[in-house]
Amino acid sequence: MPHHVGLFLFNNDLRVDDNPTLARAAAEVDQLICLYCLESRQPPSSLHAPGYLSPQRQTFLFQSLADLHNSLRKLGQRLAFSTASPLDIIPQLITQHDISQIYCSENTGHYENQIWQRLLKRYPMISFTRIASHTLFEQADFPFPLAELPDSFSKFRKRVERLDIKPPIPPLKQLPPSPELSGYWPEIPVILSHSMLFNGGEREGFAHLENYFERNLASSYKQTRNGLDGMDYSTKFSPWLANGSLSARRILGRLRSYERDVEANDSTFWIYFELLWREYYQWYAHRHGKRLFDFSGIKTSKPKTSFYPERFQKWCSGNTPYPIVNACMKQLNSTGYISNRGRQLVASCFVHELGLDWRYGAAYMEQQLVDYDPASNWGNWQYLAGVGADPRGHRRFDLAKQTNIYDPERAFIERWGGDSHDGSLDSVDAADWPIHKAQESVQ
């Protein structure tokens, strides 16, 4: 009997529950290497990202990896953690262990897909398996080919919302053992110094999911979902969904059992509705590939924006003339999270009030958000910048009006220090003359 050694490359599927690709690997090989690579200089999705991972995003990721490592140990496995590129480490493992099968869950990240394609090309003798585990549907479920993905969310929703969705598969009970790995394998870093809004890992994700439904918060989601501050106004499933510690099907399964056993109403429907938004952007990213990061998005002409480094810096640090935006940005910088309403407001301000190139805003969120997800982040930014799936062209939010509706007492602005800013947007004019000095000399 031939002896098969497989390699499973973890990515945005950091779980043992409802992980069809891992289940496939477990069924097909005699030994398995479970690998996660975090390149120390991880490239951003586009060339425009100003930095890499915020402390909150990094901490959440390391907590998720540590939890995965523990789960794997209970199954007789381990997580091999590397700071090298998969393109460097996988060839070594192939040679050392005579690997015949490589597995990875599907991914919407352009960089991750490039790595996969390069491995495929380089090793034609190896069998490569990739299965979708990040979505509710599979491509084959749709009554249209991917190339004909509807050009707006509403059209997409109407065509898919009544389709059957496969139930999640149970957590694995056993995995093939790992071969002995030689060489240096770093420990998964532990960061203790950040107070976190969310703790990473599959166990934490499950506990949060249970807690959310046990407290019956789902029954009032539609009324509360536009809140700005606090844990309970929206589901907060996004951090665990983004790195795959929880699967979308597991969440939907729990929602359906709540609807069956407790209550089904407009609010519970609306959670499904929002999960379909996420779903749309995942398929949108698959459909448009690299264009998710293009200045002109999926349109043919580029937006009329420019780049002002000073405005960008002020937006990032929450020092603009718009208190609601400042409050949101300070909240983001301190916690790694902002509400959906907050994201819409800061993005609209970035594009319309500050006249900046939307890709820099998206790249900043990529760096900061604990729930960063390529498809949802870049897809939503495109939508708000008028170069995405918005039939109306672009959305400009009236920031004063929005403040009156969503923060009428200004409690959120006060809590996050939104009123503290230096009052001006630019210190130089269009010809680079210092604005204050010019005014002084006129007086």
Ligand X SMILES: Cc1cc2nc3c(=O)[nH]c(=O)nc-3n(C[C@H](O)[C@H](O)[C@H](O)COP(=O)(O)OP(=O)(O)OC[C@H]3O[C@@H](n4cnc5c(N)ncnc54)[C@H](O)[C@@H]3O)c2cc1C
What residue ranges bind ligand X (CB under 6 A)?
Answer: 225, 234-238, 241-242, 271, 274-275, 277-278, 281, 339-340, 343-344, 347, 365, 369, 371-373, 376-377, 380-381, 384
- Judge contact between 97 and 29, C-beta under 8 A: no
> 437 Cβ partners below 8 Å, 6+ apart?
none
CB of 220 vs ligand X, minimal distance in Å: 12
Which region holds residue 216: left if phi is over 0, alpha if psi is between -120 and 50, else beta?
left
Nearer to ligand X, 225 or 394 (CB): 225
CB of 307 vs ligand X, minimal distance in Å: 18
- Judge contact between 190 and 4, C-beta under 8 A: no
Cβ neighbours of 429 (radius 10 Å): 10
Nearer to ligand X, 225 or 415 (CB): 225
CB of 274 vs ligand X, minimal distance in Å: 3
Q: What is the DSSP string of 35-51?
A: EEE--TTPPPSSTT---
Distance in angstroms between the alpha carbons of the first and the last residue of the chain:
91
Nearer to ligand X, 78 or 225 (CB): 225
| Degrees, nearest 5: CA angle 294-58-192 | 165
Q: Which residue has the tokens 């979902």?
A: 225
Nearer to ligand X, 78 or 287 (CB): 287
CB of 60 vs ligand X, minimal distance in Å: 12
CB of 250 vs ligand X, minimal distance in Å: 13
DSSP label at 302?
A: -
CA 370 from chain centre, in angstroms, equals 8
CB of 97 vs ligand X, minimal distance in Å: 36
Nearer to ligand X, 11 or 377 (CB): 377
Nearer to ligand X, 129 or 340 (CB): 340
CA 185 from chain centre, in angstroms, equals 27
Q: Which residue has the tokens 């069924």?
A: 27
Nearer to ligand X, 79 or 369 (CB): 369
Taking alpha carbons only, the member of 370, 327, 425 closest to residue 237 is 370
CB of 239 vs ligand X, minimal distance in Å: 8
